[in-house]
Amino acid sequence: MNYLNIGKENIVPIVAELNILLADYHVYYQKLRNFHWNILGENFFDLHNRFEEMYDDTKMKIDEIAERIITLRYHPVSNLSDYLEIARIKESSPLMSDKEMVKIIIGDHRILLGQLKKVIDRADKAKDEGTIDLMGAYIRELEKSTWMLNAWSKDTREQLDSSFVK
């Protein structure tokens, strides 16, 4: 029974992009754990806690993405070797400063946001509202997290665009 009312020819491209997203989130998850374990310096407490919050959130998203693929009636990619092969996010060394870690995480967010938009594009063509809704929520959360990490990494003398402020 096809309870989705979406043809297989439209589901396959969505599942393909979701599997890439799943792989990206797995590598990202492990990178957050890596940074959580290996953070040093004066920002230890802030970033140690923040990275933990982020990997806990990522763990939930990994499960939701895999379950969405199953909802679309496919098996998700589930081997670490496959994740490393198809993921666009790459592993990182733990031997770096707090600022370097945050810069790398912001770069990973750019990759995740790009992949999320690819999934939405495929889902939009298939009129797959369930996938669009899920990905939209992820985009909103990821943009906010990126803004916060970016703000943390800025010099306090830097300012936002004030053209709308009197």
pLDDT tens-digit profile of 51-72? 999 999 999 999 999 999 999 9
Domain of residue 142 covers 8-153
Place of tokens 């004030």: 162
Judge whether 114 lies within some domain. Answer: yes
Judge whether 83 lies within some domain. Answer: yes
Judge whether 133 lies within some domain. Answer: yes
Judge whether 96 lies within some domain. Answer: yes
Tokens found for residue 18: 């979701």
Q: Is the pTM of this model over 0.75?
A: yes
Q: Which residues contact 81 (CB under 8 A, 6 or more apart)?
A: none
CA distance 44 to 72: 41
Q: Domain count of the chain? A: 1
Judge whether 162 lies within some domain. Answer: no
Q: Give me the phi and psi of 124, to 5 degrees please.
A: -65, -45
Q: Stretch 69-84: mean pLDDT, rounded?
A: 97
CATH value at residue 100: 1.20.1260.10
pLDDT tens-digit profile of 20-61? 999 999 999 999 999 999 999 999 999 999 999 999 999 999
> pLDDT band at residue 157, thresholds of 50, 70 and 90?
confident
Judge whether 131 lies within some domain. Answer: yes
> pLDDT band at residue 1, thresholds of 50, 70 and 90?
very low
Judge whether 158 lies within some domain. Answer: no
Judge whether 165 lies within some domain. Answer: no
